[in-house]
Amino acid sequence: MKYVYWMMVVIFGLTMSSCSSEQSLQEYYIANAENPNFMSFDLPSSLLNLEKADLSASEKEAASSLKKLNILAFQKKPDNEADYLVQKKTIKSILKGSDYSELMKMNTPFGKATLQLKEDGDTIDEVIIYGDNDEKGLVLVRVLGDDMNPASFVQLIQAMEKSNFEGKGLEQLGDLIKG
């Protein structure tokens, strides 16, 4: 009986210690997908027309690892400035977590942006593109895939450039970025 009791205590302890109070990026997406200040898009990789593009064998392999893109965009308006600041701080806090490694920072005509990776050993679980502009809002893009290889990530970008993706269905996001 003592053995069962102690085993239950150990299991309970391990369960409680494995729970994290930090919000994951996926939890953040789910929590804000219905927020009226956000626009949310889930795009399958097939929408990028990669299967129709003239790709090399290595580019095809890189493209086959891509599953989908999750896009969450916040359009800043005078009446939601406080919420914008909270959302910006929350996202930056999540991305500073130990799960993500920053690949590069960019200053663009549209605002500041970062490119980050979430890796699992030798493969990339997701690529995060985050950008914000204090006048227009913010955009958060998750590129999700299966066993994406860091070495073939450049080939994946080249494959996307060769595709015939014209951005149909993303007019609202384009309007947000342009202002």
Please list the rounded mean pLDDT of every run of 10 residues in the chain (179 residues): 48 46 83 90 71 70 76 92 94 88 85 85 82 93 78 61 53 51
Distance (Å, rounded) from C-alpha 169 to C-alpha 82? 29
| Residue 26 half-sphere exposure toward CB, CA atoms < 13 A | 7
Judge contact between 71 and 43, C-beta under 8 A. yes
Domain annotation covers residue 1: no
Burial per residue of 111-124, b for 16 or more beta-carbon CB atoms within 10 angstroms, e otherwise: bebbbbbbeeeeeb
**pLDDT at residue number 1:** 55
Cβ-proximal residues to 111 (8 Å cutoff; 6+ apart), any chain? 131, 132, 133, 134, 136
Judge contact between 46 and 68, C-beta under 8 A. no
Domain annotation covers residue 68: yes
Domains of the chain: total? 1
Domain annotation covers residue 7: no
- What letter represents residue 9's amino acid? V
**Bridge partners (DSSP) listed for residue 69:** 43, 143
Structural domain containing residue 80: 23-178
Distance (Å, rounded) from C-alpha 169 to C-alpha 161? 18
**pLDDT at residue number 130:** 92
Closest CA to 176 of 145, 141, 125: 141
Closest CA to 24 of 94, 98, 83: 94
Distance (Å, rounded) from C-alpha 22 to C-alpha 93? 9
**pLDDT at residue number 4:** 46
Domain annotation covers residue 142: yes
Domain annotation covers residue 151: yes
Domain annotation covers residue 71: yes
**pLDDT at residue number 74:** 93
Residue 47 is classified by DSSP as G
Domain annotation covers residue 41: yes
